[in-house]
Each structure stands twice: as C-alpha cells, then as structure tokens.
Amino acid sequence: ILNVEQSPQSLHVQEGDSTNFTCSFPSSNFYALHWYRWETAKSPEALFVMTLNGDEKKKGRISATLNTKEGYSYLYIKGSQPEDSATYLCAFHTGFQKLVFGTGTRLLVSP
Amino acid sequence: KAGVTQTPRYLIKTRGQQVTLSCSPISGHRSVSWYQQTPGQGLQFLFEYFSETQRNKGNFPGRFSGRQFSNSRSEMNVSTLELGDSALYLCASSLPLGRGNPGELFFGEGSRLTVL
C-alpha cells in the first residue's frame, strides 16, 4: 500500500511570514510528484508537477523542491498572504494512472 | 475552454438508496478519475477510466461502480447507500501520460453526498 504523508497537518501564520510544508512518499516506482492547492468551495488546482530528482519549480512566491532518492518534496511560500489560505495536497504518481494523495496541509494566513 | 463539470453539486439520500453522479471532462481529455473525500481523510482513489475501459480501481466495495461513455463523460454509481458514504466525490480528467504530460489532473468542483 502506497503511503504519502504530509506535515504539518495544519498551520496558522501571520501575513508576511514564510512557511514550508513537507511531503514524504515512497522512493521506489517514482513517476511524478504533484502539488495541488485547494481553496474552500473550489476545486483543487495543480501548482506543480515534478518528475526529475532535484527539480525545483517556482510560481510567484511559491516554490517546490523534489528529492526522489530519499522520497520527499518541500513546498515553500514566501511572504504568506491571506489569499494563500488553502489546503495544499501532494500526490505521488507511479505511472499507472493512479495518483495517491496525502491528507494535506491546511494553511491559514491571518492579516 | 470549459472545465470539468460535475452534477449534481449537492444531494441528500437515505440509507439503502442508490445514487448516480455525473462528470463531463475537459474537451479532449479521455481519462477520467473519481476520488472520495471524507473529513480527516485525503482524497481516496475510486477508479479511473480511459476510452470506456476501467484501467484502475481503488479499495472500495463493489457497491461503488462506474462507467465511461464514448464521449468520455463518466458516471459513478453507489448502491445500497450507507451513512459512511457521505462524502465529497471529486471527478478529474487528464490527458494520457507521456507526450510530455506527467498526468496533471483537472478537477471538478465535486458532488457532495449526504446520506441520512
């Protein structure tokens, strides 16, 4: 059974703080690692899809790194804003058409 | 470009009834996946269809079934509903893996089922 773990489970920061989350996944049978952002009452949207060990992706104030050999990925948010409040999901892809999701990190950014 | 559309958005059923949920993928996407989300749980994979064929199935009882039509639209059905089936059911479509596509999913807004 594939297990994807995310930490912390939830996080409450002040506007302007920088924060980071961790996603741990199996180090074998790796095809891709996805990060999704899920705002309340909306549908999850892909932030990053990473396939290569050492990948680093950036979108505005949000960035992610990938280590497939040790099975972890970090998501960083620099200078958090209230609009960053959402649940951040990571998902592990083995290449067999099934994504295995972690339980997510719920981020709340207070003004 | 229209996104993934799920209907109905909300529904209430009673134990023992059955329910059918519908999903229309993004035009050109032939892969459709279904996920269940309950409080405290991550997204649990139900099944995935491609070109009318179920290619992958999660660990759910046989009461959960699905199908895909020739236009790529998909339905999932839950029979003999139980209280524990109350959840948000998400559908996602994607392009085939390969061709530079690592399998990004495009989600609908979900169907929230309440079983009383």
Report which of residues A93 and B77 the model is more confident about. Answer: B77
| Closest partner CB to A43 (pick from B58, B102, B107) | B107
pLDDT tens profile B40-63: 788 999 999 999 999 989 999 999
For B30-53, give the DSSP string: -EEEEEEE-TT--PEEEEEEETTE
Q: Which residues of A touch B4 (CB under 8 A)?
A: 43
Question: Contact, B23 vs B34, CB < 8 A?
Answer: yes
Test mutation, B34, B38, B43, B91, chain A, max A CBs within 10 A: B43
Does any CB of chain B come closer than 8 Å to the CB of residue A26? no
Check whether B16 has a pLDDT greater than 90.
yes
Q: What are phi and psi of A8, to 5 degrees?
A: -75, 175
User: CA-to-CA distance for A79 and B104, rounded, in angstroms?
Assistant: 27
- The pLDDT score that the predictor gives to residue A108 is 97
What's the pLDDT band for A24 if we cut at 50, 70, 90? Answer: very high
* Minimum mean pLDDT range among A74-83, A89-98, B48-57: A89-98
What one-character DSSP code corresponds to residue A34?
E
Q: What are phi and psi of B21, to 5 degrees?
A: -115, 145
- The pLDDT score that the predictor gives to residue B2 is 75
Q: Residue written as tokens 């085939």?
A: B96
Count of Cβ atoms closer than 10 Å to residue B28 Cβ: 9
Longest dimension (CA), chain A: 42
- The pLDDT score that the predictor gives to residue B96 is 77
B67-92 average pLDDT score: 97
Contact assignment for B50 to A101 by CB distance below 8 Å: no
What's the pLDDT band for A2 if we cut at 50, 70, 90? Answer: confident
What's the pLDDT band for A79 if we cut at 50, 70, 90? Answer: very high
Does any CB of chain A come closer than 8 Å to the CB of residue B56? yes
Helix H, strand E, coil C: the string for A49-106 is EECCCCCEEEECCEEEEEECCCCEEEEEECCCCHHHCEEEEEEEECCCCCEEECCCEE
pLDDT tens profile A32-45: 999 999 999 899 99
- The pLDDT score that the predictor gives to residue A27 is 84
Q: Which residues of A touch B99 (CB under 8 A)?
A: none
| Closest partner CB to A49 (pick from B44, B104, B109) | B104
- The pLDDT score that the predictor gives to residue A97 is 65
Which among A56, A10, A60, A61 has a CA at the least distance from the CA of A33?
A56
